[in-house]
Amino acid sequence: MKLTKTLLFFSVLFFAASAVAQDGTIYPLEAPDEPNAIPLGTGGVENQPAPESWFRQWGDPMARNISTATLTPFLPDPDKANGAAVIVAPGGGYMWLSMGNEGWEVAEALAEQGIAAFVLKYRLRPTAESLDDFTDFMNNPRPRPAPPTNSAESGDTPPPPPPRWNLDNQLEDAEAAYKMIIDRADEWGVDTDRIGMIGFSAGAGLTMHSTLNSKTMKLAFIGPIYGGMGPVDVPENAPAMFNVIATDDFLFNGQNGVIESWYKAGVPVEFHLYQNGGHGFGLGNPDRTSNRWFDAFIYWLEVNDFLETN
């Protein structure tokens, strides 16, 4: 099947990645060409000491110190296009972006299903300019959320929630991406009533943050994939939600508050809790039950008429 130039470029990049050791070692990586990346014009990052740079870990190309947000379209073959569109937000703790595993690969898979996909490379918090210093930071244990405790049973006062990062830049980038898709909908073959957003880890957090806080984005559906599971205040006219996480993901901890919030608000929600998969599995890793989530997501879109051809 004929690939667009964007899909062909990234397919070559993924093939090259297979030749690199698939381990947790951080390798330097020359910034790849992104010929179809469109700057969003949302400004820079305050107190950013370093230029954008790339590295590879687990065979995956990753970007950090992003100060210029971009949107890269992955458009389907016109014969397959169904008018639906998805903004794809990779994860990385708001300090780097897993561009291959949670960005380009997902967008390519969506385009194969006739969905116009748009990878959002959003601005990040600054990290060390030196890759060695960044590697030291990554290799040092970082605190992760503790499982919730029942204070009534333990007699202890529950700890205060961890401080939340300011996501003003990231929200502005998501809103600019949405506006660009609206403005160029005719050019890209997008039905503006069927624009959704899917995100992974921190990208799932940005997807949820956009849903809860944006005054301009009118998403039809969202797909937080292995994101935070705490309860939220569901806004009026909230989009339908497809949610995925594995039991062995450190973000799960037995919580399903966000699912209950959507359910109690009377908004359509589908929740897939997989036996295994860990965190950061993207489209899937070998021999994990979570590997079928993408097929379930496409079927969910189909059943809910988001893939109805114009």
- Beta carbons of 246 and 278 less than 8 angstroms apart: yes
d(Cα 167, Cα 121) in Å, to the nearest integer? Answer: 14
Name the burial class of residue 107, with classes exposed (0-12), middle (13-18) and buried (19+) by CB atoms within 10 angstroms of its CB.
Answer: buried
How does residue 141 score in pLDDT terms, banded at 50, 70 and 90?
A: low
| Threshold 0.75, pTM exceeds | yes
d(Cα 83, Cα 10) in Å, to the nearest integer? Answer: 23
Is residue 156 over pLDDT 70?
Answer: no
Q: Looking at residues 157-175, what average pLDDT do you find?
A: 75
Over residues 41-58, the pLDDT tens digits come to: 999 999 987 999 999 998
The percentage of the chain sitting over the pLDDT mark of 90, rounded to a whole number, equals 80
Instruction: Quote the DSSP letter at residue 4.
Output: P
Q: Which two tokens stand for residue 175?
A: 């809103």
> Given this model, what pLDDT does residue 153 score?
40
Place of tokens 């230029």: 51
Strands 53-57 and 38-39: unpaired
- Beta carbons of 113 and 81 less than 8 angstroms apart: no
The one-letter amino acid code at 277 reads G
Q: Looking at residues 239-246, what average pLDDT do you find?
A: 98
For 35-39, 110-114, 138-142, 279-283, which range has the lowest pLDDT when averaged over its residues?
138-142
Average pLDDT over the chain, rounded to whole? 88
Beta bridge partners of 197: 87, 222
Q: Looking at residues 161-176, what average pLDDT do you find?
A: 84
Is residue 177 over pLDDT 90?
Answer: yes
Q: Kindly report the backbone phi and psi dihedral angles of residue 108, in degrees, each rounded to the nearest multiple of 5, phi listed first.
A: -65, -40
Is residue 158 over pLDDT 90?
Answer: no
Using alpha carbons only, give the angle 298, 296, 205 rounded to the nearest 5 degrees: 85
> Given this model, what pLDDT does residue 286 score?
87
- Using only the alpha carbons of the chain, give its radius of gyration: 19
The percentage of the chain sitting over the pLDDT mark of 70, rounded to a whole number, equals 85
> Given this model, what pLDDT does residue 261 score?
98
Instruction: Quote the DSSP letter at residue 138.
Output: H
Over residues 75-89, the pLDDT tens digits come to: 999 999 999 999 999
d(Cα 92, Cα 72) in Å, to the nearest integer? Answer: 18
Q: Which residue has the higher pLDDT, 247 or 3?
A: 247
Domains of the chain with bracketed CATH: 5-137+165-303 (3.40.50.1820)
Strands 96-98 and 60-64: antiparallel
- Beta carbons of 86 and 177 less than 8 angstroms apart: no
Beta strands in 179-254 (DSSP E): 195-200, 221-225, 240-246
Is residue 9 over pLDDT 50?
Answer: no
Name the burial class of residue 276, with classes exposed (0-12), middle (13-18) and buried (19+) by CB atoms within 10 angstroms of its CB.
Answer: middle
3-class SS of residue 61: strand
> Given this model, what pLDDT does residue 237 score?
95
Q: Please state, as a whole number, how many other Cβ atoms lie within 10 Å of the Cβ of residue 58.
A: 19
Q: Please state, as a whole number, how many other Cβ atoms lie within 10 Å of the Cβ of residue 145.
A: 14
Q: Looking at residues 219-247, what average pLDDT do you find?
A: 97
> Given this model, what pLDDT does residue 138 score?
87
> Given this model, what pLDDT does residue 310 score?
54
Q: Which residue has the higher pLDDT, 15 or 71?
A: 71
> Given this model, what pLDDT does residue 22 score?
53
